[in-house]
Amino acid sequence: MSKHVKQIMNIYHKLYSLYGPQGWWPLISHEGRNPTKTGAVRGYHPQNYDLPQMRNQIYEVILGAILTQNTSWLQANKALINLHQLNAIEPEKLLKLDDEILKSAIRCAGFLNQKSTYLKEITTFFLELNGRIPSRKELLQVKGVGNETADSILLYAYKQPEFVVDAYTLRIFAHLNLVDDNIKYMELKELFQSNLPTDVPIYQEYHALLVEHAKRYYKRKPYGVDDPLKLII
DNA sequence: AACCAGGACGTGA
DNA sequence: TCACGTCATGGT
């Protein structure tokens, strides 16, 4: 725990002024007109915080959260498009998919054996919810759902105020000496939540902005060279 | 040609 | 608890 942590809001404003609203979580049905390789500047549905709306859009975010684990969104998105072609972004349909067909559809996102299992597990869980918003604890009990995936689902699929921490978040804040590099997930998450207003759009944008920022300055070692955030802390 | 990608799980100490 | 190997494919 550092004292510099009050800088969390300053950093948010700085990132927002640099990159603007990110429009996360991307949906296949709302592909932006300006997608980029870095994941995208104003690429999806910027400043629209009402998505996802429909049941299958919520489900699509959940599938994407599993598919993008330790994989670029570019590849996860390809897998989602393949599933869409199979008309399988619908829980009942996906459960009926033959495992080999499912695997071939998501192969591009890697870890096809685990992820095919995880997708069906989370789908069964999703159906059992019957429209109810799951608790964080419930989500974590689903095989294949860890801290980050649970928070991603809650924040971006269900619009719950759960801050999402990922490897980039730690990489950036540790490099800036704002936190120790062995800080635990829940500690870093709580650090953000206790220093930000409990506001879903802010949580959504902040995580997305950190990812965009990391792709520009923390993609490869040495990390953080010429990071403009160093000028404001 | 290594290294990384919007992690999670199982294992043994 | 915690460090470490494993899971798999694609892009740079």
Q: The dihedral of CA A142, A54, A202, A37: what is its sign?
A: positive
Please answer whether residues A18 and A228 qualify as being in contact, where contact means their C-beta atoms are separated by less than 8 angstroms: yes
- CATH tag for A55-157 (out of 3.40.50.720, 3.30.750.24, 1.10.340.30, 3.30.70.260): 1.10.340.30
Provide the pLDDT for residue A155.
Answer: 98
Length of chain A: 233
Give the distance, in angstroms, between residue A3 CA and nucleotide B7 C1': 29
Which of A38-42, A62-66, A197-201, A229-233 comes out lowest in average pLDDT? A38-42
Q: Is the CB of A121 under 7 A from strand B?
A: no
Closest CA to A229 of A154, A186, A169, A188: A169
Nucleotide with the nearest C1' to A152 CA: B6
pLDDT tens per residue, range A73-103: 999 999 999 999 999 999 999 999 999 999 9
Nucleotide with the nearest C1' to A218 CA: B4
Q: Can you give the residue ranges of every domain in chain A? A: 3-23+163-232, 55-157
pLDDT tens per residue, range A154-211: 999 999 999 999 999 999 999 999 999 999 999 999 999 999 999 999 999 999 999 9
Provide the pLDDT for residue A30.
Answer: 76
Closest CA to A181 of A218, A137, A144, A140: A218
pLDDT tens per residue, range A121-141: 999 999 999 999 999 999 999
d(CA A170, CA A210): 10
**pLDDT beyond 60 at A2:** no
Please answer whether residues A123 and A65 qualify as being in contact, where contact means their C-beta atoms are separated by less than 8 angstroms: no
In A20-98, which residue ranges form alpha helices assigned H by DSSP?
A: 55-67, 73-85, 91-96
- Mean pLDDT, chain A, as a whole number? 93
Provide the pLDDT for residue A4.
Answer: 61
Provide the pLDDT for residue A5.
Answer: 61
Nucleotide with the nearest C1' to A114 CA: C7
Give the distance, in angstroms, between residue A148 CA and nucleotide B10 C1': 19
Closest CA to A192 of A3, A8, A2: A8
Provide the pLDDT for residue A126.
Answer: 98
- What single letter denotes the amino acid at residue A201? P
Question: Residue A75, Cα to own-chain centre: how many angstroms?
Answer: 14
Backbone angles phi and psi of A201, in degrees to 5: -60, -40
Which protein residues, judged by their CB atom, are less than 7 Å from any atom of strand C? A 37, 70-72, 74-75, 107-108, 110-115, 182, 184
Q: Is A95 exposed, middle or buried (0-12, 13-18, 19+ CB in 10 A)?
A: middle
Per-residue confidence at A35, pLDDT binned at 50, 70, 90?
very low
Give the distance, in angstroms, between residue A123 CA and nucleotide B11 C1': 28
Give the distance, in angstroms, between residue A198 CA and nucleotide C11 C1': 37
Nearest protein residue to B3's C1' (by CA)? A220
